[in-house]
Structure 1
C-alpha cells in the first residue's frame, strides 16, 4: 500500500512539473508565466485533495452522471471555471471567439495582460474552490427577478454555504426576501457595485480591457472608460478577486447554449459556475414574476420587460436550460410565494 502511495505521489509531482514546463514554453496561444512559489502551493493543494477527497454526501449531487443523457452530453467536470496562472493558456479558437464577444478595437496583448493581472490578484486559486474537500456544499444562486418580492426567502437563501449574486443586485433593504449573505458576486466592469468586505468578486471578462481594468482599479485607477464609464477605483481586496475563465464562458456557450445568442448571460454563467463548484444548487429570482412580467426586484416598474430582449442573450433558450435541469432534479428553482 505504501509503495502504491509513493508511486502515485511521484507521478503527481512529475505530472505537475511537466505540465507547467510545457505551458511556460509553448509557442502557441497565450503562454503562462513561471511561478516557482505558486508551483509549490499548487502541489500542496493537489496532495491535500488526493488525501482528503470526499464523495458527495448531499441528497442531490449535481455532478452525478448516468441520470440523464441530456445532462451527460453537456456537463464536463474537467473544465475549470476560474482563470489561474497555470491554466491561462487559451487555445487559438477560444481566444479568437472570446475577442469577438464585444468586438474590442485593438486589444492589448493577452499574454502580457495576464502576467500583469497575476501580479495583482491571486493566480493559484483552486478552480473547483476546494469542492473535493467537503462532502456537501450547497449553493444558492440569487437572480434579480421581481418574483423575489414578498417571497420571504431571505433566511432560506442565507442558510446555504455559498450565496452567489450578480451585477448590480442590492441586498440592503431587501434582506427579508433576498437574504443578506453573499460569498461570491459575479460582475463585469460595466455592472460593478461595491461589495461587502468578505465577498469574493468574480470578474466575468468579455474583453481584454476588462482584465486590465481589474489591475487599474486596484492600483493606479487609470482606466475609467470601456465602452461606457466604469469605476476607476474599487475597494475590493486584491485577494478577494477571482477571474471567470474565458474558456469556461465558451464551454457554457458551446455545451449548454449550443450557439444560441451571442454569449451567455451573467445569470446562466452563475448557474453553470455553481454546478461546478457546489454539490447542490438552488435558484432564486429567475424568470418572470407571478403575473408574467420581467423586471428587477428593486425596481418599481413591474410591467417592464425590455431587459429580457437585449439582442445579445437568448432568454427563452436559457430559461429552457434551467427548467430542464430542474426537471431532471439537478437543481431546484424557487419561483416566489
Structure 2
C-alpha cells in the first residue's frame, strides 16, 4: 500500500483544516512549480515532477502561502488536537489516542510564528565540513536557526554558532546517551546537555509506541528555562514524506532533509550549513570529511535508512533554482 493511500485512512485531527493544511504543506510545491513552469530556459530535473498544474491552482497556492497554516500544524499543541483524536505512528500502521496526560504536556498554542514568515533562516547540519569554517558568526546572524539532534554548541561556537531556535532530537538519543532516562543521574545529564539550547526542542514522539512513552518522560523531566520539548505532528511528517516519496525519494527522509523542507515553508531566505554527504571535501582540497563535526560516528546507520546522496541531489537542485543557498566552505 502506498504512503498516499495509507494517509487517506488516517483519522482526521479535529482542528486541522483540510484545504488550508494541504496548501500550507504544499508551499514547497508552489515555489518549485512556479519557478520551473515560469522559467524561459526550461530546467531539466532527473526525476518526474508534476508540471501540468493550471494557472488557477498556482494562484490558489500563492494565496495560501501568506496564511502558512503549516506553522500551525508542525507540532502538536492544545489548539490543534483534542483528547478524542488519534495519531498514527509515523513508522508503522498502528494508532495511538491523545491521552489526557499527553494533552497536558503539549504546549497551549503553537510555539512558532503563525501567519508570518521568518525573514532569514539557517539550517545547520552535522557534517564535518563545518569544522574550521569560521561560520559561527554568520550562522548566528540569521533570524531563525534550525539545528539537528542536539550537538554540543559551546565547543564549536566559532564554526557552528551557538544560537538555537528550533532543534531536533531523535528519541534514540535518550536511549543511547541517557539510558532511557531511567534514573535521576541520567535525567540530570540530559538536562545539562540541552541547557545550551533555547526555543523549541522537536521530536517525533509518534515514531513508535516506545518513543512516545520515552518522550513523555523527557517532557515531564525537562527543567531548562526558555526551552520547550514538543512533539512533531505525525500528519505533517507524513505529508512531507509523501511529497518527496512522489518524487522518487523512496527511502525514509533524514531529519536534516525534513528541516530543510520545513524551513522553505516558514522562511523567506534559507541557507544550509553542514550539509555534505561525501567523505571528501569539494574542489582541489580532497581532505577527508567526518560524518559529524562533533563526534567520531560514521554514516553506516544513516546509509542503511536514508538516501543521503539522492537527498543532496535534490538540495543542489533547489540551490540552483535559488530557493535555498548551500554553504560547503568557509565563511571568510
Q: TM-score, normalised by structure 1?
A: 0.64
In structure 2, distance between residues paired with 1:283 and 1:318: 13
Q: Is the 8 A contact 1:325 1:331 kept in 2?
A: yes
In structure 1, distance between residues paired with 2:131 and 2:50: 32
Rate the CA distance shift 1:279–1:71 in 2: closer, same or farther, 3 A.
Answer: farther
Q: Which of 226, 235, 238 is equivalent to 1:247?
A: 235
Q: Which of 262, 283, 306 is equivalent to 2:300?
A: 306
**Cα displacement string for residues 149-182 of structure 1 (whole angstroms, at most 9, x for unaligned residues):** 1100000000011111111422121111101111
Rate the CA distance shift 1:158–1:165 in 2: closer, same or farther, 3 A.
Answer: same
Q: Which residue of 2 aligns with 1:23?
A: none
Q: Which residue of 1 aligns with 2:113?
A: 130
Rate the CA distance shift 1:283–1:131 in 2: closer, same or farther, 3 A.
Answer: farther
Q: Is the 8 A contact 2:123 2:273 kept in 1?
A: yes
For structure 1, the 5+ residue unaligned runs are 1-27, 34-61, 102-106, 220-232
Aligned to 2:294, what secondary structure does the other structure show?
coil
**Cα displacement string for residues 222-251 of structure 1 (whole angstroms, at most 9, x for unaligned residues):** xxxxxxxxxxx4434597123221112112
Q: Which of 31, 35, 42 is equivalent to 1:67?
A: 35
Aligned to 1:180, what secondary structure does the other structure show?
coil
Rate the CA distance shift 1:82–1:65 in 2: closer, same or farther, 3 A.
Answer: farther
Aligned: 1:81 with 2:74:
yes
Q: Which of 236, 257, 272 is equivalent to 2:261?
A: 272
Aligned to 1:68, what secondary structure does the other structure show?
helix
- Aligned residue pairs: how many? 253
Rate the CA distance shift 1:207–1:307 in 2: closer, same or farther, 3 A.
Answer: closer
Q: How does 1:158-237 map to 2 (within 5 A)?
A: 158-192=140-174, 194-195=193-194, 196=196, 198-205=198-205, 206-219=207-220, 233-236=221-224
Q: Is the 8 A contact 2:199 2:227 kept in 1?
A: no
Rate the CA distance shift 1:235–1:68 in 2: closer, same or farther, 3 A.
Answer: farther
Rate the CA distance shift 1:272–1:236 in 2: closer, same or farther, 3 A.
Answer: farther
Rate the CA distance shift 1:261–1:162 in 2: closer, same or farther, 3 A.
Answer: same
Distance apart, 1:218 and its partner CA: 3.3
Distance apart, 1:95 and its partner CA: 2.6
Q: Which residue of 2 aligns with 1:145?
A: 127
Aligned: 1:100 with 2:92:
yes
Q: Which residue of 2 aligns with 1:295?
A: 291
Distance apart, 1:133 and its partner CA: 3.8
In structure 2, distance between residues paired with 1:260 and 1:165: 22
Rate the CA distance shift 1:238–1:261 in 2: closer, same or farther, 3 A.
Answer: farther
Q: TM-score, normalised by structure 2?
A: 0.65
Rate the CA distance shift 1:71–1:157 in 2: closer, same or farther, 3 A.
Answer: farther
Q: Which runs of 4+ in 1 moved over 6 A?
A: none
In structure 2, distance between residues paired with 1:118 and 1:243: 11
CA RMSD, 1 decimal: 3.5
Rate the CA distance shift 1:325–1:64 in 2: closer, same or farther, 3 A.
Answer: closer
Distance apart, 1:300 and its partner CA: 5.3
Aligned to 2:35, what secondary structure does the other structure show?
coil
For structure 2, the 5+ residue unaligned runs are 1-9, 16-29, 38-48, 54-60, 175-189
Aligned to 2:107, what secondary structure does the other structure show?
coil
In structure 1, distance between residues paired with 2:14 and 2:225: 24
